[in-house]
Structure 1
Amino acid sequence: MTGIHKRHWPGDKDRPALALHCMMGSAGYWGPIARRLEGRVDLTGFDMPGHGRSGPWMEGTEGPDFHTAVTRIAASFIDRPLDLIGHSLGATVALRIAIAAPEAVRSLTLIEPVLFAAAPNAEQDARGRIITGHLAQGHIEDAARAFIDLWGAQPFDDLPPPACRMMTDQIRLVAATDDTLTHDRANILRDGGLEAIDAPVLIIAGERSPAVIHAIAEALAARLADVGRASVPGAGHMLPLTHPDETAGLIAVNLDRA
């Protein structure tokens, strides 16, 4: 792993915030959200390893797994209580941080958290097997297509060729997070962990997202002390990109709650 690219949208210096992007995304998509928040928070983001302008992810035999590495990078940006915002994989990282250090979180906004272990689902398990099967057979582009056609903002074959190549390069990172997201390798769901979060939490889902997302939101909300839920009409998994007005508005609601 080489350099991590940081992004910053200036705002209220007394209200730091950290935003964590999804798999195959980059921190750049928080820009429209930051503009709509109009400086109410001083927002920082970073491109995860292998994403955006950051260096590639180089897994070592004795180093941390990808999810742990991203969590450690995110934690390095925190030096005082802040508003933590995460989307998809980024939401699971945000949740992991909030459980490990609840005193560091002023508010927690989870957009489409993909912690599949919270709501085991046979359909989702089958999707995972399709991707790992393609990878095992060396059909890397087919694996990327299967992933993006479900979770992306548009079908894989409608994307520009450079984007397809980039996502094909990144698809192995999806498999690399399976132990954490599907089997809870990081023990995010441990007894008392979610219950220890005393910051206001908002879980946001797209109305048209796969059913497993809504089941995850329900399972997490049942264990959180101060939680709200929201569904964005007409939106799918990539709602920060497709519905920035609604996403920013809901983030603002949770900021006000803190």
Structure 2
Amino acid sequence: MTVLPAVAQGLHVRRLGRGARQVLGFHCTMAHSGALRGLAQGLGPDVAVTAPDMPSHGRSPDWDGQGSVLDRMIEAGIALLREPMDLIGHSFGGVVALHLAVQRPDLVRSLVLFEPVFFAVAKQDRPEDTVEDARSMQPVHDALAAEDPETAARLFNRLWGAGGTAWSDLAETTRAAMTRGVAILADANAQITRDPHGLLRPGGLDDVAAPVLLLRGAHSPAITATANEGLARRLPDAVSLDVENTGHMAPLTHPARVADAIKRFWSRG
């Protein structure tokens, strides 16, 4: 693992692997760039993954509340897209990667999105799914409003985390990192439930020239299927697949399975 200079909008950036095939990766909320290590290893020795830490995550500075986290990450991605690269994004990181593919289609060789939480798609296609998501997330937002970030992190992790491990059984450093990361949730939620850059307007995704793979854990909430299928219909060259016996955190819990799906997709040429 090589640590790169913090050149992308002041964010910490790391490099996983030393291969010739250049990949730009974006982690999910309450994780960090190192969470992509297993996936990078599964992709093989020919791959090198460059991955920034989001604000308030990993070794990046705390979120300063200026602008939006989405725009900050898009700007960071543009700074790192210096040659044609494959993009991989998980959850909110998938939303970032999608926006990059729209803004710089000339530098995106392929696009892999694992459950991009762009729930503005569901708002258009199946609004009842967004009602259920809002209901399940309300306790998280209530905890944030009450300035109780640890409770918000615990509840969010219960909804979207790997599951199977009680909050009290997580390492203290892990709980602290998740509690720190939850600081971006309110802003991120505002970006994913609306469409600030107009990607869903008629023809808004037509410029994405790269082939797109939309992946989903077969046991994930229904809204993730609605988002993936809706994006697949709107993108010029996209396929949507489920990864069996996995959930939202499959890139961390089952990185070999996810990597195998990506390698099969890449082999299409």
TM-score by length of 2: 0.88
1:114-166: CA deviation from partner (whole Å, max 9, x where unpaired): 00110022101223333222222233322222211011113434322322222
1:14-57: CA deviation from partner (whole Å, max 9, x where unpaired): x3210110111111122122222222333211211211122222
In 2, the alpha carbon distance for the partners of 1:209 and 1:227 equals 20
Q: Give the C-alpha shift of residue 232 in structure 1.
A: 1.2
Corresponding position of 1:21:
27
One-letter amino acid of the structure 1 residue matched with residue 39 of structure 2: I
Q: For the Cα contact (< 8 Å) 2:17–2:41, is it kept in 1?
A: no
The answer to whether 1:33 aligns with 2:39 is yes
The answer to whether 1:180 aligns with 2:191 is yes
In 2, the alpha carbon distance for the partners of 1:50 and 1:31 equals 19
In 2, the alpha carbon distance for the partners of 1:47 and 1:139 equals 23
Corresponding position of 2:135:
126
Q: For the Cα contact (< 8 Å) 1:206–1:233, is it kept in 2?
A: yes
| Identical aligned residues as a percent | 37
Q: What is the number of residues matched between the two proteins?
A: 254
| Structure 2 residues without counterparts, runs of 5 or longer | 1-5, 124-129
In 2, the alpha carbon distance for the partners of 1:219 and 1:132 equals 26
Deviates more, 1:228-237 or 1:109-118: 228-237
Q: Aligned in 2, Cα 1:144/1:12: closer, same or farther, shift over 3 Å?
A: closer
One-letter amino acid of the structure 2 residue matched with residue 108 of structure 1: L
Corresponding position of 1:96:
99
State the superposition RMSD in angstroms: 1.8
Q: Aligned in 2, Cα 1:189/1:158: closer, same or farther, shift over 3 Å?
A: farther
Corresponding position of 1:146:
155
One-letter amino acid of the structure 1 residue matched with residue 251 of structure 2: P
In 2, the alpha carbon distance for the partners of 1:53 and 1:251 equals 27
Corresponding position of 2:127:
none
One-letter amino acid of the structure 2 residue matched with residue 149 of structure 1: R
Corresponding position of 1:80:
83
Corresponding position of 1:159:
170
Q: Give the C-alpha shift of residue 3 in structure 1.
A: 4.2
In the TM superposition, what are the counterparts of 1:33-72 in structure 2 within 5 Å? Answer: 33-60=39-66, 64-72=67-75
Corresponding position of 1:135:
144
TM-score by length of 1: 0.92
In 2, the alpha carbon distance for the partners of 1:231 and 1:209 equals 10
One-letter amino acid of the structure 1 residue matched with residue 180 of structure 2: D
Among residues 202, 210, 214, which one is paired with 1:199 in the alignment?
A: 210
| Structure 1 residues without counterparts, runs of 5 or longer | none
- Tell me the secondary structure at the aligned position of residue 245 of structure 2: coil
In 2, the alpha carbon distance for the partners of 1:127 and 1:205 equals 19
Q: Aligned in 2, Cα 1:231/1:58: closer, same or farther, shift over 3 Å?
A: same
